[in-house]
Chains A and B, each alone.
Chain A
Amino acid sequence: MTTVSVAAAIREGRLEGRLWLYSTYACNLACTYCLTESAPGVPRRALGADRMVDLAHQAAGLGFTELGVTGGEPFLDPSLPQVLARLGEVLPTLVLTNATLFTPGRVAALRPLADLPVKVQVSLDSSFPDRNDHARGPGNFRKVVDAIPRLVALGIGVRVATTLDGEDDPDDQARLCELHRSLGVGDEDHVVRPVVARGRAGARGRGIRAGTSELPPELTVTIDGAFWSPFGPTVTDGVLATDLLVTRTIDPLCIPAEALVRLIEARPAGSDARTGIR
């Protein structure tokens, strides 16, 4: 297996072009559907800035076209804006955040990202503050709707991600769309996905099943190993799930990347159906 096959798999659409980096497992929130049981006090178990940048360079060499940074809450690391700038100089980068840590100083530190292909994806689950905060924590809604316009004003690309826990409420969704538009985020930058029955949601019996048949292959690197998808490195009752673990080796990146391509190529024809879980 050569690196050419990874590039070809991405070029031909069999492997997603984005490499996900789990920057940390720690979070300042404890969302009810969190995949990784992240919460305040959870050990950070971080990849580290230099390793993330090194992996980004390796990803570019292998043919990956984008980077995603997630967690936990990546912005718990005060140096993340500088790390994102380094990543953005390698490949277009999307960072996922709960946007609750954006003090004026931290927002100012993000200013250089406006000139780089770096986007920020903010979680916002409902147009109703109490409904949003029920899943994501007290005061979350207020902080998010405060942070988004400040990011937009800096010229930073912002996406809004909505995770639906339970029945879809069309009225809420319509209101939410009005809200994100009013905050400066267009419809093309609003993603909606269901809760996945893994991690904290799975332990509560919530969400939809998500295995290799449901999830598109998106190489995801954590301190624990490399996974099939960013929905892979889940934690339940403190135990890491291994059903979507590709390899423990994350460096050199070609090892998990080539293993994932082998898994994709070994799938029976027609098994690449997707349910749109992103």
Chain B
Amino acid sequence: MEARVPLIDDGQVPPLLARHFEGGDPGVIVRALASVPELAEVAIPFIGTVLGPGSLPAVPKEVAVLRTSALLDCRYCIDSRTVAATEMGLDRALVQAALATPAGERLPGLDDAMAAVVAWIDAVAVGTGPVPDRTFAAVAAVLAAHQIVELTVVVGTTVLLNRFCTSLALPTSAETRAALAQQGFSS
């Protein structure tokens, strides 16, 4: 399937975005965003900051991205984040559970702390209206307030990316498909 919008190639990079293409292939999200340079100029660093190292430990952050992508059924994000999660050493059973467990259900094999985090992720990603007080109380028992803020931004940004990639039909790269196959996952 081809993307529904132009993916800016290396010869057509707008001047404002040159630095994002200097380090090699920036990926299809950046190439799609590049059609609107002034938006991409701020969105790319924002996304990098949100998904990069922060106050939230790496495992819950990666689970948040993977789980949200699975709940939103974003093929591009599921593929790319499955590879990333596996490469960072996330437990394979946790990856599979995050991908397969329906929204609102407890993932098998999680301790209570991680279950509370995932319940928060599920509620933010696909819930409507207020998140129940008991869900907040559970996550507040295991994460500091600033970490809940960061986790919520991670989930929200992932929702944005999920809908962006899915709506615009951004394709999984051949490299990602190859990595998935090598890791024993299917695209």
Contacts and interface: CB of A to CB of B under 8 A. Distances in A.
Contact of A259 (B6, B8, B38): B38
Given A259-B16, A263-B16, A246 B37 contact: yes
A246 B15 contact: yes
Contacts of B39: 248
A244 B15 contact: yes
B139 interface: no
B38 A243 contact: no
Interface in B26-50: 34-39, 41
A249 interface: yes
Interface residues of A, number: 17
B67 to A, nearest CB: 34
Contacts of A259: 16, 37-38, 41
A28 interface: no
A247 B38 contact: yes
B180 interface: no
A247 B37 contact: yes
Contacts of B37: 242, 245-248, 259
A270 to B, nearest CB: 17
Contact of A246 (B11, B12, B16, B34): B16
B36 A243 contact: no
A212 interface: yes
17 contacts: A228-B15, A239-B6, A241-B12, A242-B8, A243-B12, A243-B15, A245-B15, A245-B37, A246-B15, A246-B16, A246-B37, A248-B35, A249-B38, A255-B38, A256-B38, A259-B38, A262-B16
Given A243-B15, A259-B37, 5 more contacts: A246-B38, A248-B35, A248-B37, A249-B38, A259-B41
